[in-house]
Chain A
Amino acid sequence: MYKNIFKYDDMKRSEHMSVRTTVGWYFWTHQLLEITGPDVTAFLDYIFPNNIGSLAVGKDRYTTMLNEQGEIIDDVVVMRRSEDIYWVSTLYATKTDDWWYFHQGDYDVEWSEITDEWSMYAVQGPKSRDLVSGLVKKLEEDSVEGPVDDLKFFSHMETQIHGIPCIINRGGFSGEKLGYEIYVHPDDCESLEGYLKPAAEALGGKEVTEFQVMAWTLPTEANFYYMRDLAHTNPFEVGLEKNIKWDKDFIGKEALLKIKEEGPKREMVGFEVPEADIYIRSKQYGGPGEAVYIDGEEEEVGRVSKLVYSYVKEVNIGYILAKKGALHMGDKIKIHGYDAVITKMNWL
C-alpha cells in the first residue's frame, strides 16, 4: 500500500482545480536572458530550430534548443520585445549562456541575464482574463497598447496594475486556453500579490503554492513537457518537430535531417494506471524511470518519464518514452507489477 501522494491531497486538488474551473495564480519566475545586437534575429534563428525571423514585435514563440546531435538541450519561450531586443525565458540560463557563447562566432550580438530584474506571476484558468482585465481596467484609458482583453495568445503588452509597471504576456504552462503571465520588478511583488489574492478569491480562485501542481499535474494533463521529460530526446521522438523551419540553417539540423530520413527510434506515449495507490518510479524525480514491459513479454520497451494524477480524469496518468512502434493505444502493459494501458497524451 503506497498512498497516492496526489489523489487524497485536498490541497493539491483544490489548487489544481482552481486553475481548471476558475483561476489560479502563482509565483512562476523563470530565468530571463535579454539579447540584442545587429545580428540578433539571425543568431537566434541559428540557435533555435523554430522560426524566429517571422516573430513580430510583441509576440512570443516556443521552441526547443538542440545540440549538434539533434538532442533537445533546452526548451524556451522567445519574446520579441522590440525590433532588435528579445527575451528568452528558460530555467537553464547558465547553460544557455555557455551554449550561446561557444556558438556566437561572428554574430554581432550581446546578451545578459535579467532574472533579477523581473519576477513573474502566472494567472491561469477560465476566469484569468476577468482577473487580469479587472486589475488593468482602471488604466485602460491611459494604455497606449489597448486593453488586455484583446491580447492574443503568445502576445505581450506593457501596462500598469494600480500604478505598478508590468508586462502582461498571454500564455502559460497549465494547458488552459486562457492564461496570463505578469512580469513586474521584484520590488513590486508584494504589492502585486496584494491585488492578485483578493481578486482571485472574488472569482472563486486561489493561489497555487504546490510545485507539483504548477510544474507537473497541470501541464501533464495538457501534454506539456517539463525539460526533464525532453532530456536526451530529439524533437521527432516527442512530437515537437512540427514547427521546425527546415529552410534555414540551425544547430542540429544535419543530425535532425538524418533522423527524419531514418525515422525516430523512440516515441513518447501516454499511459494510465487505474489502481490508485501505486509505486512506480518516473524520471520526473530523477533517475532512469521504471522499465515498461508489454504484458507477458520480457523485453523492455520503454521507461516511465512522467507519472502524476489527473484530477480532471481521476486516474494516474503519465508519459512513457518507448521504442518506436512498440506500444499502441489500448495496449495493456505492466509497470513494476501494476496494470497500465497506453492512451493518448492529453487528458483535458
Chain B
Amino acid sequence: MSKKIDERIPQNSGEGANFKSYYGIQSPWNKIYSYQDALHYASRFESVLSAATTQALRIIVPDYQERAQLMCEEAYQRLYTTGKYYGDDDGFGIHPFMCGQYAGALIGDKGDDALLMCGRCQDFGSYRAEKELDVCDWDICGSELCRTTTMSLQGQAAASAERRRKGPGMDYMMVEAKGCGDRHCRIIAESREKYPAPPHELWESFGPAVTEDMKKYTEEEDCISESMMFREECGYRFANGTNNETDSSNQMINMSTGASLYILPAIAETVKRGYVTRKQADHILKCVLEAAGKAMFGERYAIRACREWLGVPDTIGEDGRVMGALIEMLLQSLVCEYEVEAFNEKEVILVIDRSGLEITATKDVPETHLWMWGGMVKTLVNAQWSLWEEDSPENKMRIKIAKRIDEFM
C-alpha cells in the first residue's frame, strides 16, 4: 500500500483576513463557502467582467496592434510611476545587492501567487529569469492583456532597478500565454547585454526568447491548480527564493483585476487620446456589460446551478432575492462592505461601499459591476426584474432590485 497522503484542504486558511464572522462567505440562506472558494469565485467573476470590458475596448480601438500598443504604453508608464514612488523592495524580498531589472521578477512572482495564478519560478538570475504559470483566470480576457501585464512588469522592474546600483537591463517577454491558448503562461526575461536580440515595440512583448532551449516546460501531470498559499506541501505559505513569505491573508483578488488595473485605465486613455468621448465609452461599456450579464444565465441549467450554490429554498421562486444574494456573495468575497436595506420578495436594496469596489482605486469599477448585474438579473430572475442605482448616499452605491416597466429599456 502506498503511504502517500493526498493534498488535504487548507487548515486555517484566511486567518486574519478581515472576515468578521467567518473565514469565508455566507449566503442569506446559510450556504457557507471557504475563504479559498470565495477567492476563486471572485477571481473568476472579475475575470469574466474583465473579459467583457476588453470587448468594449476592442470596439473603441479595433486594430489589434494599435490597441495593444496603447494598453502597453499606458500600463508601463503607470506601473513604472507607481513603482517609482510607492515601490517596496523589502516587501518583495529584493536584497540591496540585487542590481538591475531582474529583481523585478520577484514582484511578478509574488503577485501571481496572490492572484491565484499558480505556477513556479524556473530561473532567477541577473541576466535571465523565467516564470511558468499553470493557472491564470485572466486567460479569457484576450491576448492583448497578456502583452500588457508583461509591460507593466517591465515598468515595475525598471522603477525598482533605479533605486539600486546600476545593473543589467532586462527584456520581459511572455513567450507562451494561456490567453493565446498555450498550456502555460511563461515569462522569460533576458538581458540584451548577454542575449542580444533586435529592439521591439512595447506591444511586441511575446518574444521569441533567445534562450528558448533553457526553458523548463512542466508536463500536465505535474501541473498544479492552487497557489502556494493554499497548498499543504507549501505549509500554506507563498515563499520565493529570497525567503519572502506570506500567507493567504495577503491575497490580491480584491486588490487587482484585469479590468481595474489594465482595461478600464486603457479605456480612460482612449478618451484622453480622443478615440471616443467619456459618454461614448460608458455607453459602449454599458452595452457590452449588460449583454455579458444576460449571457451568464441564458440557459436554465445555469440558473439551477446558481440557486443550488446559493442555497435558495424551493419556496423562493423567481424574485430579486436570488440576484441580491449572488451580489452579496461577490461583495463578501471582495471584502467590500455593504448594508442590506431591503431583502424580500418585492425588492432587494443593497447599499454598497463604493471604495470597496473601486479596486486599484479605479473609480469606474462600481459602474461596470452595476451594468453587468443589470444584465444578469434579466436572465437569473426574469425580464420583469431590473437592477438600478437609486438615491445613493455619498461614497455609496445604493442598488435596487425590483420589478420595473421601462419602454426604453
Contact = CB atoms under 8 A, between A and B. Distances in A.
Interface of A: 1-3, 5, 11-12, 26-31, 91-94, 115, 119-120, 189, 209-212, 214, 226-228, 231-232, 279, 281, 283-288, 298-300
Nearest to B212: A3
B242 A11 contact: no
Interface of B: 2-4, 90, 95-99, 102, 109, 120-128, 165, 167-168, 194, 213-216, 228, 231, 233-235, 238-243, 245
A104 B397 CA distance: 47
B334 to A, nearest CB: 27
B241 A228 contact: yes
A11 B194 contact: yes
B234 to A, nearest CB: 5
Nearest to B103: A211
Given A2-B214, A30-B95, 13 more contacts: A2-B216, A28-B97, A29-B97, A231-B243, A286-B121, A286-B239, A287-B120, A287-B234, A288-B233, A298-B2, A298-B4, A299-B2, A299-B3
Given A279-B216, A299-B3, A91 B120 contact: no
B135 to A, nearest CB: 14
27 contacts: A2-B215, A5-B123, A5-B125, A11-B127, A12-B125, A27-B97, A27-B99, A27-B165, A91-B242, A92-B243, A93-B90, A115-B96, A209-B126, A209-B167, A210-B127, A212-B124, A226-B243, A228-B243, A231-B239, A285-B121, A286-B121, A286-B228, A286-B239, A286-B241, A288-B231, A288-B233, A298-B4
Contacts of B109: 286
Given A232-B235, A281-B120, A94 B167 contact: no
Contacts of A283: 239, 241
Contacts of B234: 287-288
A214 B97 CA distance: 10
B121 A287 contact: yes
A298 to B, nearest CB: 5
A92 B165 CA distance: 19
Contacts of A28: 97
A202 B121 CA distance: 38
Contacts of B124: 211-212, 285
A27 B99 CA distance: 8
A46 B240 CA distance: 29
A120 B4 CA distance: 47
Contacts of B90: 93-94
A50 B67 CA distance: 60
A285 B125 contact: no
Contacts of B120: 281, 285-287
